[in-house]
Amino acid sequence: MTKVRDIAPYSVRMPDSLKRDLTMRASKNGRSLNSEIVMILQAAIDEDRSPKSVESFAQQEADKFKEALLETLKTMYGKDDK
């Protein structure tokens, strides 16, 4: 578990209406405003890190493989042609 001394405080400016909405959401979820904001931010980061579906993951991996293969072939044959 993260210790309090390992957590960096960070002040955020936001419109009053957003703070009000976040406060209501936090209350509905039984969390503090800070905890709610951290949960939302973590979920956004986690979503960016994970593939949207098996198909998109497969496509990402295929694209990486294609790039690596092309670079290897260019190195082997000394050509920059596609």
In tens, the pLDDT along 19-56 reads 999 999 999 999 999 999 999 999 988 877 776 777 88
pTM, rounded to two decimals: 0.56
80 has a pLDDT exceeding 90: no
CB atoms within 10 A of CB 23: 13
Amino acid at 66: K
What pLDDT score does 62 carry? 95
Are the C-beta atoms of 35 and 26 separated by less than 8 Å? yes
Q: Where are the domains of the chain?
A: 15-50, 52-82
Are the C-beta atoms of 18 and 24 separated by less than 8 Å? no
Are the C-beta atoms of 36 and 29 separated by less than 8 Å? yes
Are the C-beta atoms of 33 and 43 separated by less than 8 Å? no
What pLDDT score does 58 carry? 87
CB neighbours of 60 closer than 8 A, spacing ≥ 6?
51
